[in-house]
Structure 1
Amino acid sequence: MTNYRFENFKPAFDESTGAPDERTQGYFASTSVGFHDARSTDDALKNRVERAIADGRNLTAVYAKQEYEHALDASVPVATFAWFEKLVNVGGGRLVPGHLITWVTVRPTHRRRGLLRSLMTTDLAEAKAAGYPFAALTATEGGIYSRFGFGVATWAHSIEVDTSPGFKMVHEPDRRVEMCLPSELRELAPKIYGEFMRTSPGAMERQQTYIERATGDLNTDTGEADRGVRAALHFDEQGEADGYVSYKFAGWSKNPPTIELIDFVAVTDAAYASLWSFLAAIDLTTRVTFGESAEDSPLPWLLTDSRRVRTVSTEDNIWIRILDVKAALEARPWYVPGTLVLEIDDSLDLAGGRYTITSDGENAVVETAPDSTPADLSLGIAELGSLYFGGADPVILARAGRIDENVPGAAVRASSMFNLGRMPYSPNGF
């Protein structure tokens, strides 16, 4: 790594000019290349930096000596990395600080030189030393991060809903829905999402981007405001908002006429049903699309014709990397009593070993087990990450050869013990 310089810093503005400082400008120029984003205007870059500051993002940039005339300036990093802290629901409404990793890029001209491995292994070791029980990320490419111990822990469906005449719900919803100015969501969306987050395993605090998208202040494709955004709220029996949807019309060239959901958050089942009833009633449209629907969405069961809900694709969402087995497993609830011994392999030597989990049906005590204690299951640290929110089934992982079942019936027992009563869902990317 002698040919590279690593720098850690926070995004900042130059006090004399009011513009992002040179390091921050160079950093975002690099991430724009890495994620194929258009070059930002001055205003869009300013807003992007403000969001990064609001989220508390910590940046790492890797610089290389510039050797060729006309190439990108040496102030533009050849690799980037960032992390920030957000609360994560690990089940039962228990909120735990998570180490969230994002903006990982390496310029194509500097691949195969160990930059990603150096950035990731250094960060994970520092996160463990700082006391984080786990790290999390969302991946643009699915084959990269399992080698660093990350396992897929939540999934999202992209759905299309046929709202043409004949759309009907089995039970009439309460219809306590009213449209609002999208700007109302600046204050209401974080509050409503905060309540929702406590109901859904795997859900985590959101970033500033989600608020600005919901309010129409940000179109992520252009970096500018989106004046086509509309919004609606659901109200509970006391008149308090407990759900919202923001959406836009896809344009007259789209066939069939389509409403595209930008954000949809419902704290209660009543809010969920009523907001979908509202969307289906929008005139001059016969389809609604949503790219971040829950894997176990009740929507098909709400309708008299479940075929009106079509899953277009399923994608992994949150990946979890356990850093401290004892701290992570003791932080979450355990609804089924029992004992389970796990042998965990970790190629990075951060969290491997043999552990005994003893659950009383509410909490668990996790202890290091001696080598003489037979392991019920043997698995990698990535597989433990997939099990953490109860989203992956140990029985399926055993059938796929991802878990070794050393004691007959242990996978079934683990399936019962890791279950959190609800599939994990985090309508959140970073």
Structure 2
Amino acid sequence: MSRRQDIDIRPIHEDEIPEWIRALNTGFLRPPSASDAEVADRTTYIVPERTLGAFDGDRCVATFRSFTQELTAVGGTPVTADAISNVTVTSTHRRRGILTRMMAQDLAAAKDRGDVVATLIAAEYPIYGRYGFGRATTAAEWTIDVPRAGLDPRWAGPDDGARIDLVDGDDVRKIGPELHERLRRAQPGAIDRSERWWQVSTGVLVLDRAQWTEPFYAVYRNAQGQAEGLLAYTVDEHWGDAKQPLETAKVKDMIAVSPAAERALWWYVCSVDWVTKVRTGWRAPDDLLPHLLPDPRAARITTQADWLWVRILDVVRAMEARTYGRSGTLVLEVTDRDGLSAGRYRLEAAPDGASCAPTTEDAELTLDVGELGTLWLGDESAVRLAALGRVREERAGAASEADALLRTSRRPWCPDIF
């Protein structure tokens, strides 16, 4: 068995990409071989100096990649994030501190670059709290039983001058990016989408390991002809024994920048002939959807789970980037075993701006940097965390004050996985 110090962790060279992909596929339990197409695709977008491999001799046994991302804070300000992805450790090399070393190397580099936070989507829950990440958003998926939704079977589209049009991938690549930008500027927790994202989602770029099925694309335009919503969905082919259609529409993506667009697009997909079930894809946990139906019970939550995890790298900039619904002050003692964000900070918040600075004043609330990441986007309650023993009040009522300052009226949501 190789000793821990024998494992060489470093950025990969371009000629090591095939070996790195083999380790990545092995870690994710996919066929391990790296095809020429996958190597060619990866080469176009990975940044070698931010793509780490752990090598036992010539064999890559762990993978780690990060890239620059924009994350929307509460109030709409984008902050620069160190987005972490493609994290694996081969099963023969677990429990040797490999992930800890890779994470420490990447987070230190991100701190030096001036990134405000680090982000990731956790495949397994217990891992990333050790590194200062906190669950910051939740996502939910609903399944709609269309026949019992109570919608008018004669519904043929909006009756307020708006319209819904079917379009193709070329139209989506023109309309979609601007719509998504409008959504993410207003949605705490949303992240930017690259040009490559739109190429993959519309079939211009077909990943070697993926089976491409062209979706249907529907665009909602308001009475003035402006696009306010985009829906992408596929439909299976399933018929009952009595020659009755029992087809399921699966929503791949839905962007709506107005409540009218959101309502119309859900009603539209529920009105497609032969569709008896709709699976919504990942949505915000407080999505309007159930209550857009005459019978909200027709939409049941199929899955609900943690989604985006956030690790605060710069407490001052993170707290000053977001907005606050009321005025108040709070002194936070932030602990961080890695030393990247530890300190005592005084937050002075107001609806027209906030300041945050190191202080020697007595702390009012003590919490780990991971819990600060959980609270930062406004989804969690400091009172709940105090009851769980995950934050500590140094002054009675400090957790309630934190909730009054930090919580948001609508829950944060990240529409994308990365």
TM-score, normalised to structure 1, is 0.88
SS at match of 2:337: coil
Corresponding position of 1:36 = 29
Write the distance in 2 (CA, Å) between the matches of 1:404 and 1:325: 18
The AA in structure 2 aligned to 1:233 is: V
Corresponding position of 1:401 = 389
CA contact (8 A) 2:334 2:367 kept: yes
Write the distance in 2 (CA, Å) between the matches of 1:7 and 1:158: 38
Write the distance in 1 (CA, Å) between the matches of 2:20 and 2:202: 27
Structure 1 residue 393 displacement after superposition:
1.1
CA contact (8 A) 1:236 1:242 kept: yes
For residues 237-259 of structure 1, the C-alpha deviation after alignment (integer angstroms, 9 at most, x for no partner) is 33222211111113327994211
Write the distance in 2 (CA, Å) between the matches of 1:235 and 1:9: 47
Corresponding position of 1:71 = none
CA contact (8 A) 1:334 1:360 kept: yes
Structure 1 residue 356 displacement after superposition:
1.0
SS at match of 1:271: helix
CA contact (8 A) 1:44 1:224 kept: no
Q: Aligned in 2, Cα 1:417/1:193: closer, same or farther, shift over 3 Å? A: same
Q: 1:390 aligns with which of 366, 374, 378?
A: 378
Please say if 1:271 is aligned against 2:271: no
Corresponding position of 1:328 = 318
Write the distance in 2 (CA, Å) between the matches of 1:34 and 1:236: 47
Corresponding position of 1:357 = 347
CA contact (8 A) 1:153 1:318 kept: yes
Write the distance in 2 (CA, Å) between the matches of 1:173 and 1:294: 27
Write the distance in 1 (CA, Å) between the matches of 2:311 and 2:200: 28
Structure 1 residue 40 displacement after superposition:
5.4
Identity %: 32
Q: 1:260 aligns with which of 219, 234, 250?
A: 250
Write the distance in 2 (CA, Å) between the matches of 1:253 and 1:47: 38
Structure 1 residue 33 displacement after superposition:
1.1
Structure 1 residue 368 displacement after superposition:
1.3
Bigger CA drift: 403-412 or 31-40?
A: 31-40
Write the distance in 1 (CA, Å) between the matches of 2:124 and 2:195: 24
Q: Aligned in 2, Cα 1:45/1:196: closer, same or farther, shift over 3 Å? A: same
Please say if 1:239 is aligned against 2:239: no
For structure 1, which runs of at least 5 residues remain unmatched after alignment? 11-20, 66-73
The AA in structure 2 aligned to 1:42 is: D
The AA in structure 2 aligned to 1:46 is: A
Corresponding position of 1:138 = 121
Please say if 1:61 is aligned against 2:15: no
Q: 1:158 aligns with which of 141, 161, 184?
A: 141
Bigger CA drift: 379-388 or 361-370?
A: 361-370
Write the distance in 1 (CA, Å) between the matches of 2:54 and 2:388: 38
Q: Name the count of aligned residue pairs.
A: 406
Bigger CA drift: 398-407 or 33-42?
A: 33-42
Write the distance in 1 (CA, Å) between the matches of 2:80 and 2:223: 33
Write the distance in 1 (CA, Å) between the matches of 2:283 and 2:49: 27
Instruction: Report the RMSD for the aligned CA atoms in angstroms.
Output: 2.5
Write the distance in 1 (CA, Å) between the matches of 2:203 and 2:306: 26
Structure 1 residue 140 displacement after superposition:
0.6
SS at match of 1:293: coil
Corresponding position of 1:89 = 72
SS at match of 2:255: strand
Corresponding position of 1:250 = 236
Please say if 1:198 is aligned against 2:198: no
Bigger CA drift: 216-225 or 97-106?
A: 216-225
Please say if 1:24 is aligned against 2:11: no
SS at match of 1:164: helix
Structure 1 residue 331 displacement after superposition:
1.3
For residues 344-393 of structure 1, the C-alpha deviation after alignment (integer angstroms, 9 at most, x for no partner) is 111111111211111122221112121xx332211111000000100111
Corresponding position of 1:411 = 399
Q: Aligned in 2, Cα 1:185/1:45: closer, same or farther, shift over 3 Å? A: farther
Bigger CA drift: 216-225 or 359-368?
A: 216-225
SS at match of 1:294: coil
The AA in structure 2 aligned to 1:205 is: D
